[in-house]
């Protein structure tokens, strides 16, 4: 089979990881039913039997299954590596298996003494990297978090991906507000492109007009209220936001925030210092206190339930029949978002 169906996403940019997942989802075709054929597992929690069952099961009323395993690094370590290698060799062609491995690029000297960037975990010596060179069904999809100095170039690429244009000075100005948080930057880009109606390149003046002091639009103020436990205020702001903001933008911001909270909660449960997440740029240093407080309000299981529901909402909004009116899709998503905020 020429099509690759074993996907290893490595990196620490959660926004880029999500884009890779969306692209894989699109390739599965219109007949893919996420409610029947999508399984999400946590590599730190799932047993080998659970993984094997999810991977080897045949699709229900469709041609493909999608199995997404987050926190997959432990499955690739020496203790589990042999079992995982055997599992990979037995994945049927009807199953697309995605392993998400949090990884970081590091600088080190090569054999010739030249400085090169290598992935810290999935480096050239790792057994899975060597396997990829021989296995035509396996591919690596990289998701490195850009350095702040590289963010203007990232912004220009993301603007182009979203179908617009931006001046280099405007890209630098936007990067100054968002830092290296690609999730927030992408949301702000979408807002800016709607502001200029895709008719002209985004200018510095447009960025100053549309992006507030810390790169946080009303959507992020609503999220801050929700995290602080101010449910009524968050509900009221969500209702206002849905009048003039694309629901897909709000959904993306919610998913990004709860993904961060899951990582904070995991650090708390493991007795680790949450400030280490700031060093990995998962959150900013000035967010450590706020995010720690918010994560303590939810048990891990509840955070995962919320995140999985957001994922299902995203999948459902993308899998509507092409003949469905856009307004109908957005009304359904608006309703689900309002219900979610009430329940959180």
Q: What CATH number does residue 182 fall under? A: 1.10.8.60
Note the pLDDT tens digit of each residue in 259-276. Answer: 889 989 999 999 988 888
Q: Look over the chain and give the mean of its residue pLDDT values, rounded to a whole number.
A: 85
Residue, of 252 and 199, whose pLDDT is higher: 199
- 195-221: burial string, b at 16+ Cβ within 10 Å, e else: ebeeeeebbbebbeebbeeebbbbbbe
Residue 142: predicted pLDDT: 94
Note the pLDDT tens digit of each residue in 84-141. Answer: 999 999 999 999 999 999 988 888 877 888 888 889 889 888 999 999 888 999 999 9
In a domain, 239, yes or no: yes
* Residues 229 and 344 occupy one common structural domain: yes
Does the structure show a pLDDT above 70 at 147? yes
Range of the domain at 93: 6-143
In a domain, 196, yes or no: yes
Note the pLDDT tens digit of each residue in 48-58. Answer: 899 999 999 99
The residue out of 143, 170, 189 marking a domain boundary is 143
The model's confidence at residue 280, banded by pLDDT at 50, 70 and 90, is low
* Residues 267 and 151 occupy one common structural domain: no
In a domain, 155, yes or no: yes
Give, rounded to a whole angstrom, the gap between the first and last alpha carbons of the chain: 44
What is the rounded CA–CA span in Å between residue 119 and residue 20? 18
The residue out of 103, 128, 143 marking a domain boundary is 143
The residue out of 126, 143, 160 marking a domain boundary is 143
Does the structure show a pLDDT above 90 at 161? yes
Residue 106: predicted pLDDT: 83
CATH of the domain at 44: 3.40.50.300
Residue bearing tokens 């957005």 = 330
Q: Is the overall model pTM greater than 0.75, yes or no?
A: no
What is the rounded CA–CA span in Å between residue 22 and residue 66? 12
Give percent of the chain above pLDDT 90: 35
Residue 281: predicted pLDDT: 62
What is the sign of the dihedral through the CA atoms of 320, 322, 328 and 330?
positive
* Residues 139 and 236 occupy one common structural domain: no
* Residues 137 and 168 occupy one common structural domain: no
Does the structure show a pLDDT above 70 at 324? no
User: What is the 8-class DSSP label of residue 135?
Assistant: -
* Residues 101 and 26 occupy one common structural domain: yes
Cβ neighbours of residue 112 under 8 Å, at least 6 residues apart? none
Residue 223: predicted pLDDT: 84
* Residues 226 and 327 occupy one common structural domain: yes
* Residues 22 and 106 occupy one common structural domain: yes
In a domain, 98, yes or no: yes
CB 336 within 8 A of CB 298: no
CB 183 within 8 A of CB 310: no
Number of domains observed in the structure of the chain: 3
The model's confidence at residue 201, banded by pLDDT at 50, 70 and 90, is very high
Residue 98: predicted pLDDT: 96
Least reliable range by pLDDT among 93-102, 107-116, 169-178, 241-250: 241-250
CB 92 within 8 A of CB 62: no
* In the chain, alpha helices (H): 14-27, 34-37, 48-56, 78-89, 127-132, 151-161, 168-178, 182-195, 204-210, 218-227, 231-244, 247-269, 275-279, 288-296, 300-318, 326-343
* Residues 49 and 92 occupy one common structural domain: yes
β-bridge partners, 140: 8
In a domain, 331, yes or no: yes
Note the pLDDT tens digit of each residue in 7-30. Answer: 999 998 888 998 999 899 988 987
Residue 322: predicted pLDDT: 45
CA atoms within 13 A on the CB side of 95: 22
In a domain, 231, yes or no: yes
* Residues 10 and 134 occupy one common structural domain: yes
């Amino acid at each position: 089979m020429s099509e690759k169906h074993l996907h290893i996403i490595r990196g620490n940019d959660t926004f880029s990881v999500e884009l890779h997942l969306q692209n894989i989802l699109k390739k599965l075709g219109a007949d893919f039913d996420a409610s029947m054929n999508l399984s999400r597992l946590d590599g730190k929690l799932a047993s080998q039997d659970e993984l094997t069952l999810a991977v080897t099961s045949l699709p229900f009323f469709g041609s493909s299954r999608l199995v997404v395993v987050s926190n997959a690094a432990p499955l690739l370590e020496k203790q589990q590596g042999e079992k995982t290698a055997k599992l990979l060799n037995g994945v049927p062609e009807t199953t697309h298996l995605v392993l998400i491995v949090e990884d970081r690029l590091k600088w080190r000297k090569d054999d010739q003494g030249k400085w090169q960037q290598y992935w810290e975990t999935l480096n050239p010596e790792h057994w899975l990297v060597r396997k990829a060179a021989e296995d035509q069904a396996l591919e690596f999809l990289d998701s490195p978090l850009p350095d702040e100095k590289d963010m203007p170039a990232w912004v220009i690429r993301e603007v182009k991906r979203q179908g617009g244009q931006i001046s280099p000075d405007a890209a630098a100005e936007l990067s100054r507000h968002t830092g290296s948080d690609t999730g927030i930057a992408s949301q702000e880009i979408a807002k800016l492109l709607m502001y200029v109606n895709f008719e002209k390149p985004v200018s510095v003046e447009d960025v100053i007009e549309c992006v507030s002091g810390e790169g946080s639009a009303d959507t992020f103020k609503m999220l801050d209220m929700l995290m602080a436990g101010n449910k009524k205020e968050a509900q009221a702001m969500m209702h206002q936001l849905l009048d003039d903001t694309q629901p897909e933008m709000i959904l993306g911001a919610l998913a990004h925030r709860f993904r961060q909270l899951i990582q904070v909660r995991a650090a708390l449960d493991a007795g680790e210092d949450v400030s280490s997440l700031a060093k990995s740029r998962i959150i900013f240093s000035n967010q450590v206190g706020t995010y720690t407080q918010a994560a303590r309000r939810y048990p891990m299981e509840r955070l995962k339930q919320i995140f999985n529901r957001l994922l299902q909402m995203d999948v459902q909004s993308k899998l509507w029949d092409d003949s469905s009116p856009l307004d109908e899709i957005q009304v359904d998503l608006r309703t689900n978002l309002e219900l979610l905020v009430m329940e959180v």
